[in-house]
């Protein structure tokens, strides 16, 4: 499942392939175009920038007028690919909702749930993107702003808060579960019950894990020699905790379909009797 580390890496790959190149083909299927963006001619322009913000990917093009920005968001599925022209694709071309062509590379996007084309001015007013919380993986990270956004809804549990992209952007369910294990935090702890130092440690671990994963390979949150043991709790139901041997459990949160996996003992979660 794409999390912030995956999208960051995708942006890096797309930037290397496309940035600065002239667009020779640009196809959108079932995309949302604003009227101002629909009037602009992308073919013949260049790829000006490729950026990620949390799980959002933004590609800016110069056009015959104002710059336009392609916004894709992957949610649970969706993936960008990069091929040489004429190379066989690894997925059915009918599933491509975006295809960007240059002389050197072809970049199709497979099944993204969100595809929008806006002008550069409109993206600044976009209802989702500007509201995103500080990007956990970014080189410059505003701790004070992140803590302010966490504290803004003190009654939420920390698991729900970490998944809210308007609070912090980039953390998905697997990282959330691993971060809470590493920091020995119960997923059901209310934000109000966490000290400043606890929140800071959660943010430090979040940044460390996401940044250690941003260059690719299988996702790892546990750095030991045995490569079969790369995560602490995620999807390890009833397997023994690597720290204390207690069976890993899972539980749910109100209004949230993503489960929390945790060690009842290490994370001090009271068990139903």
Burial 195-221 (b: 16+ CB within 10 A, else e): eeebbebbbebbbebbbebbeeeebeb
Asked whether position 266 contacts Zn ion by CB under 5 A, the answer is: yes
From 241, 259, 261, 262, residue interacting with Zn ion (rule: CB under 5 A): 241
- Looking at the Cβ atoms of 235 and 243, the one nearer to Zn ion is 243
Mapped onto helix, strand or coil, the DSSP state of residue 114 is strand
- Cα separation, 15 vs 24, in Å, equals 16
Closest distance between Zn ion and the C-beta of residue 225, in Å? 20
Query: At residue 27, what are phi and psi to the nearest 5 degrees?
Result: -120, 135
Q: Would residue 190 show up in a list of annotated catalytic residues for this protein?
A: no
Closest distance between Zn ion and the C-beta of residue 212, in Å? 22
Asked whether position 180 contacts Zn ion by CB under 5 A, the answer is: no
Q: Which residues pair with 178 in a beta bridge?
A: none
3, 110, 178, 249: the active-site residue: 3
From 125, 237, 243, 247, residue interacting with Zn ion (rule: CB under 5 A): 243
Edge to edge, the sheet with strand 47-53 lists 32-33, 114-119, 68-73, 56-61, 47-53
| The length of the chain, given as a count of residues | 273
Closest distance between Zn ion and the C-beta of residue 239, in Å? 11
Closest distance between Zn ion and the C-beta of residue 248, in Å? 8
- Looking at the Cβ atoms of 105 and 261, the one nearer to Zn ion is 261
Asked whether position 239 contacts Zn ion by CB under 5 A, the answer is: no
Stretch of 131-139, 148-156, 166-174, 240-248 contacting Zn ion, by CB under 5 A: 240-248
Asked whether position 244 contacts Zn ion by CB under 5 A, the answer is: yes
Residue in the shown chain whose Cβ atom is closest to Zn ion: 241
Q: Which residues pair with 210 in a beta bridge?
A: none
Q: Would residue 3 show up in a list of annotated catalytic residues for this protein?
A: yes
- Cα separation, 39 vs 66, in Å, equals 10
21, 121, 214, 258: the active-site residue: 258
Asked whether position 106 contacts Zn ion by CB under 5 A, the answer is: no
Q: How many residues bind Zn ion (CB under 5 A)?
A: 7
Closest distance between Zn ion and the C-beta of residue 238, in Å? 13
Q: Would residue 134 show up in a list of annotated catalytic residues for this protein?
A: no
- Cα separation, 179 vs 169, in Å, equals 15
Q: Would residue 258 show up in a list of annotated catalytic residues for this protein?
A: yes
Q: Which residues pair with 115 in a beta bridge?
A: 72
Contact between 267 and 180 under an 8 Å Cβ cutoff? The reply is yes
Cβ count within 10 A of residue 116: 21
Mapped onto helix, strand or coil, the DSSP state of residue 125 is coil
Catalytic positions, written as ranges: 2-3, 55, 258
């Amino acid at each position: 499942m794409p999390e912030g580390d995956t999208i960051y890496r995708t942006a890096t790959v797309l930037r290397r392939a496309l940035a600065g190149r002239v667009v020779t083909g640009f196809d959108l299927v079932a995309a949302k175009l604003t009227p101002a963006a629909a009037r602009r001619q992308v073919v013949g322009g260049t790829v000006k920038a490729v950026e990620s913000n949390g799980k959002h990917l933004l590609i800016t093009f110069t056009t015959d007028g104002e710059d336009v920005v392609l916004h894709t968001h992957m949610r649970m599925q969706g993936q960008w690919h990069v091929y040489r022209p004429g190379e066989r694709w690894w997925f059915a071309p009918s599933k491509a909702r975006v295809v960007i062509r240059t002389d050197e590379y072809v970049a199709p996007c497979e099944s993204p749930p969100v595809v929008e084309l806006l002008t550069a001015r409109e993206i600044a007013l976009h209802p989702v993107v500007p509201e995103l919380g500080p990007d956990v993986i970014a080189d410059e990270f505003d701790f004070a702003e992140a803590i302010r956004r966490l504290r803004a809804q003190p009654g939420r549990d920390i698991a729900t808060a970490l998944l809210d992209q308007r609070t912090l952007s980039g953390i998905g369910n697997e990282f959330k579960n691993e971060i809470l294990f590493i920091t020995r935090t119960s997923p059901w702890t209310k934000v109000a019950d966490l000290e400043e130092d606890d929140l800071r440690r959660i943010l430090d671990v979040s940044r460390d894990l996401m940044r250690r994963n941003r260059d690719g390979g299988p996702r790892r949150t546990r750095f030991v020699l045995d490569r079969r043991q790369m995560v602490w709790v995620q999807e390890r139901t009833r397997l023994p905790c690597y720290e204390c041997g207690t069976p890993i459990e899972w539980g749910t949160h109100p209004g949230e379909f993503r489960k929390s996996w945790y060690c009842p003992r290490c994370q001090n979660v009271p068990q139903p009797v």
